Amino acid sequence: MRMSRYMERRSFLKATGVTLAGAGLTAAGCGGGSGSSGGTVTIRYAWWGADDRAKKINETIALFEKKHPKIKVKTDFQQYADFWKKFNTQAAGGNPPDVFQNAVGFLRKYDAKRVLLDLSQQAGKGNLDLRNFRAGLEKFGEVDGKLLGVPVGSNSMGYVIDEKVYEKAGVAPEPGWTWDEWRDGLVAIHDKGGTAGDSGAYGVMYLYDLILRQQGKAFFTEKDLGFTESELAAYWDEALKGVKSGLYADQKKVEQVKPKSALAAGLAGGEFTWDNFTARYSAEGKSSYTIAPIPTLDGKRTGQYLGSLMLSGSARTKHPAEVAAFINFMVHDPEAGRIMGYDRGVLSTTEQYEAFQPTDPVSKKIAAYEQRIADAGLLEPITPHPAGADIVEAAFLRIAGDMALGKASAADSAKQFFTEAKTALGA
């Protein structure tokens, strides 16, 4: 969906004088239906990330509390793995944070456990505005007719490449290039540059999902896996051949340089990852990096969609109206958008997207990439993620990594994955 349609709609709203207040949004602190009785309310907000993200989020919270003096926000942030350990303990004890950062792989899992607040009810009451989201992102957190999360930013899978390595090899990725052309490029990089062409992302669930989507399939159905054990064994067998031939990076070396990426460490010429990670490579590496198009089977379909981190509310919160007001502020307020920038992806609403004008080259590349794939009509609906998808994703990454280190064959690895995945999805 093109950005211009949203800009036109926003211009129309401005011209007709429609604002958030005019649309019936209850300003923060009203406490409507939240049990606040007109007094000061405190909500708990938790997220994962690094110190830089925490600094930015704390700035936005200070701004929110200034504009909404009857709502106080108590914060908690952890690294990714620690966040979910703590959240699981809180959720099991019936005391999750009122509002928290979330991802699509967790929606059905926690909805089945009745942890997540259906935000569509707050939208219906006027506490949450679902207009002006880019490229249909307002529907990203919808599951089975319920709105379980609201996107704060967008990203899509891309192929981040070392521009100097590709230039030296004489390889110039163009939209519509095929997987055969991509493999030819890896050979050229290996032969001319003496380095691996790719870091080896065959353990990344989202990459395999794109490959399956190009075939009219998907990694998941609503309740199960969307591919067979033999298909995965064949995919991983090709990956092992790539490792042994040197087209993929030596996985022992990849492990040694962590947490730095193989691409930034100079072990490979490219890596399939989320487009907003380009900023990470530019910070870690010594070369220049850009986002190349996803290879295709037919020269057209990439299987891409926009992903996003989201904000979700707790079904147990005593302050649903305040939670909705907080989320609404975080995704619509222009000043909050300028503070956050592209930390969690390209800003999801037109208000924030237009307010933040990136000045650094990397952010400009990320925004241009997402605009390009949207304008080209490449974006499709996201694949459903059933309950247990987070466990499946972790197993896919771990088992593929062990396989690449020589601990198991492709066939045995695929068998192990299916055993673990069936258990996770059937739990």
Q: What is the pLDDT of residues 91-129, one digit of tens each?
A: 999 999 999 999 998 999 999 999 999 999 999 999 999
312 located within any domain: yes
Is 9 a residue whose pLDDT tops 60?
A: no
144 located within any domain: yes
Average pLDDT rounded to a whole number, residues 394-405: 96
Cα distance between residue 161 and residue 159, in whole Å: 6
Locate 342 and state its tokens. Answer: 């592209």
Q: How far is CA 247 from the centre of its chain?
A: 27
Q: Assign 427 a pLDDT band (cuts: 50, 70, 90).
A: low
Maximum pairwise Cα distance, the chain: 71
* Number of domains comprising the chain: 1
Q: Give the residue carrying structure tokens 């944070």.
A: 97
Supply the CATH number for residue 75's domain: 3.40.190.10
Residues 127-170 pLDDT 10s:
999 999 998 899 999 998 999 999 999 999 999 999 999 999 99
CB atoms within 10 A of CB 9: 13
Backbone angles phi, psi at 43, to 5 degrees: -115, 150
Instruction: Please enumerate in sequence order all residues whose Cβ is within 8 A of that of 225, keeping only pairs 6 or more positions apart, or say none.
Output: 219, 392, 418, 421, 425
- Residue at 362: amino acid letter: V
Cα distance between residue 274 and residue 282, in whole Å: 14
Cα distance between residue 328 and residue 312, in whole Å: 11
- Residue at 79: amino acid letter: Q
102 located within any domain: yes
Asked if residues 392 and 424 have their Cβ atoms less than 8 Å apart, the reply is yes
**Regarding beta strands 157-162 and 270-274, do their DSSP bridges make them parallel or antiparallel, or are they unpaired?**
antiparallel
**Cα dist from 123 to 58, 127, 198, 320, 366, whole Å:** 25, 6, 45, 11, 30
Element at 175 (helix H, strand E): none
> 133 has which bridge partners?
349
Is 378 a residue whose pLDDT tops 90?
A: yes
For the chain, what is the mean pLDDT?
89
Cα distance between residue 138 and residue 161, in whole Å: 31
Q: Assign 279 a pLDDT band (cuts: 50, 70, 90).
A: confident
400 located within any domain: no
Q: Is 249 helix (H, G, I), strand (E, B) or coil?
A: coil
Instruction: Please enumerate in sequence order all residues whose Cβ is within 8 A of that of 139, keeping only pairs 6 or more positions apart, or say none.
Output: none
138 located within any domain: yes
Element at 122 (helix H, strand E): helix 120-124
227 located within any domain: no
Domain with 33, as residue range(s), is 3-150+307-358
pLDDT at residue 162 in the model: 96
Instruction: Please enumerate in sequence order all residues whose Cβ is within 8 A of that of 17, keeping only pairs 6 or more positions apart, or say none.
Output: none
Is 25 a residue whose pLDDT tops 90?
A: no
pLDDT at residue 10 in the model: 36
Is 12 a residue whose pLDDT tops 90?
A: no
> The dihedral of CA 237, 238, 242, 248: what is its sign?
negative
Cα distance between residue 79 and residue 97, in whole Å: 16
Residues 199-240 pLDDT 10s:
999 999 999 999 999 999 999 998 899 999 999 999 999 999
125 located within any domain: yes
Cα distance between residue 325 and residue 71, in whole Å: 10
233 located within any domain: no
Asked if residues 134 and 353 have their Cβ atoms less than 8 Å apart, the reply is yes
